[in-house]
């Protein structure tokens, strides 16, 4: 399978070099899985607005939210084949194509948001370069948010409380191992299936930022939310190398400038909305929000580093640690 992906990537790169430039107005399709009101859903719209403004209407970005163009893996495959121009996808899924970018899925990696952004904008951009021969151009990192745990069975205050809980995770080895290290039973599942799976009891709970807990209304089908802040979820803004290859230098510059401005705007929005979402979630009275001692969870997940340091690169972990205050 890996050999097939490599062959496809080389072939696609050759095709990219031969694809003619866009004729006339450039229309780019951008897909993501979030609701339009989600902070990175709003970030996508801000990006589209800035591109239109900076290009004088020459470049139009059409945003397709809520998995209209498919799940995250579908979006990435669309980028590689050039059937989708742009996407917002998680590093947990991109890691299947560039394992070292899964660095940002490691538990308790960041000190605070300032440290996070500094790491993403330096180390993160370097880790995006190996995606280019595989058909994907990284423009920067928007924010999904800080991830927390919810469940239907019991209050989770310590890792011991997670014993045998069936927790939905992305199809990502780091998240699977993370939940195992905490004593839970990880259950990989597509995001679009999650609400009904919790409603029907197929899984006991899930882990996601407050933005998804609120906008996807997970609080309706969960009883307890534990503010574990066990990992941070960046949401890379990526583009098909086939589409990138059809742009001229000026058009590429417009996209890069719009991406940087939109990312700065979206991160500020996401930080502001995080507190607001938790207040809204608690105000529903449907779910109990629990503060936890995060040091206990950080200690329990240390085996994840022992297992995956060689995958994400110990040197990359060291670079991120060196950026701490």
Cα–Cα distance, 205 to 222 (Å, whole number): 7
Over the stretch 59-98, which tens digit does the pLDDT of each residue have? 999 999 999 999 999 999 999 999 999 999 999 999 999 9
pLDDT at 13: 53
Cα-only R_g, the chain: 20
Cα–Cα distance, 200 to 318 (Å, whole number): 43
- pLDDT: is 124 or 11 the higher one? 124
- Reduced DSSP (H G I as helix, E B as strand, rest coil) percent helix, strand, coil of the chain, to 5: 55, 20, 25
Question: In terms of C-beta density within 10 A (0-12 exposed, 13-18 middle, 19 or more buried), how is residue 52 classed?
Answer: middle
Question: In terms of C-beta density within 10 A (0-12 exposed, 13-18 middle, 19 or more buried), how is residue 211 classed?
Answer: buried
| Short-list 250, 265, 291, CA closest to 26 | 250
Q: How confident is the model at residue 7 (pLDDT cuts 50, 70, 90)?
A: very low
DSSP string, 225-242: EEEEEEEEEEEEEEEEHH
pLDDT at 16: 46
Across all residues in the chain, what is the average pLDDT? Answer: 94
Give residue for tokens 């001229």: 248
Q: How confident is the model at residue 292 (pLDDT cuts 50, 70, 90)?
A: very high
Over the stretch 193-241, which tens digit does the pLDDT of each residue have? 999 999 999 999 999 999 999 999 999 999 999 999 999 999 999 999 9
């Amino acid at each position: 399978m890996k050999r097939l992906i490599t062959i496809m990537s080389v072939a696609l790169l050759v095709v990219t070099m031969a694809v003619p430039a866009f004729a006339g107005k450039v229309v780019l399709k951008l897909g993501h899985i979030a609701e339009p009101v989600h902070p990175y859903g709003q970030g996508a719209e801000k990006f589209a607005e800035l591109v239109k403004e900076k290009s004088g209407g020459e470049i139009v970005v059409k945003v397709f939210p809520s998995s209209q163009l498919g799940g995250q893996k579908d979006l990435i495959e669309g980028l590689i084949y050039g059937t989708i121009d742009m996407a917002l996808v998680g590093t947990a899924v991109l890691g299947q194509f560039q394992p070292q970018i899964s660095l940002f899925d490691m538990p308790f990696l960041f000190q605070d948001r300032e440290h996070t952004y500094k790491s993403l904008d330096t180390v993160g951009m370097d880790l995006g370069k190996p995606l280019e021969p595989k058909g994907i151009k990284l423009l920067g990192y928007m924010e999904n948010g800080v991830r927390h745990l919810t469940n239907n069975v019991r209050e989770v205050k310590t890792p011991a409380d997670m014993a045998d809980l069936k927790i939905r995770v992305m199809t990502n080895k780091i998240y699977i191992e993370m939940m195992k290290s905490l004593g839970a039973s990880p259950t990989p599942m597509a995001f679009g299936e999650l609400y009904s799976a919790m409603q029907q009891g197929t899984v006991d709970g899930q882990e996601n930022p407050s933005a998804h807990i609120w906008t996807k209304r997970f609080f309706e089908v969960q009883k307890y939310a534990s503010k574990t802040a066990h990992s941070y979820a960046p949401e890379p803004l990526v583009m098909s190398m086939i589409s990138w290859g059809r742009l001229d230098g000026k058009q590429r510059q417009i996209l890069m400038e719009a991406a940087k401005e939109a990312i700065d705007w979206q991160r500020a929005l996401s930080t502001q909305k995080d507190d607001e979402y938790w207040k809204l979630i608690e105000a529903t009275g449907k779910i109990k929000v629990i503060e936890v001692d995060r040091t206990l969870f950080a200690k329990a997940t240390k085996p994840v580093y022992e297992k995956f340091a060689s995958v994400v690169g110990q040197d990359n972990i060291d670079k991120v640690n060196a950026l701490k205050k």
